[in-house]
A and B are shown apart, each in its own frame.
Chain A
């Protein structure tokens, strides 16, 4: 079945440093979504990428979808303590209508 892998599993940074998490799929994806989960909270939708090579930005966050639509990345510039949490990617394969496979997430901690 479809597998979605995320690396790294954990990332500890000093406030102000950049952060990147990578998401890789074993199969071509029709779209990929990114979610953020704060400690003790629930996942919250951040963004969706659909087109090959697509790049989207949300303030300090940059999301990319690979040309082959099998990988994606989330980059945070100049991290802040409010960025703490676990970031998940979720990919949909082909015609699996309504169903996405979540990666295991990257947990970011930021030291002030």
Chain B
């Protein structure tokens, strides 16, 4: 059981380049999330999705776009990368919970550097 798989694991970009980070989960989870983690700042939610075909903005959505065309995949796009987007990006997924959140399962992260 692979859980949550993120690709790529590492990437170096030049300012202005674009790229897409892929997240795939095999647990049939309804919810999926993209976070960024910077030193000393914990996890900040970029975008999330509560189901196939739906997306919503998190705390820090500017400069990012997402798509969830299939339930198992959640894509994070950077249209024009900026040095401020250098970070570690984590994808997570969880079941739906009516009364409370369900545990989030995280991928191993993508370490992205923008020069």
Contact = CB atoms under 8 A, between A and B. Distances in A.
Given A43-B90, A97-B50, A99-B45, A48 B40 contact: no
B17 interface: no
A102 B42 contact: yes
- Does more than half of chain B's interface fall in helix, strand or loop, or is it mixed? loop
A31 B105 CA distance: 17
Size range of the interface on A?
Answer: 20 to 34
A104 B101 contact: no
A43 B106 CA distance: 6
Contacts of B106: 42-44
Interface in A62-112: 88, 90, 92, 97-105
Contacts of A97: 50, 96
Nearest to B105: A45
B100 A30 contact: yes
A24 interface: no
Interface of A: 1, 6, 9, 30-31, 33, 35, 41-45, 48, 50, 88, 90, 92, 97-105
Ranked 8 nearest A-B pairs via Cβ = A104-B42, A45-B103, A31-B100, A42-B106, A102-B43, A98-B31, A92-B101, A105-B42
Given A50-B100, A104-B42, 5 more contacts: A30-B100, A42-B106, A98-B94, A98-B101, A101-B45
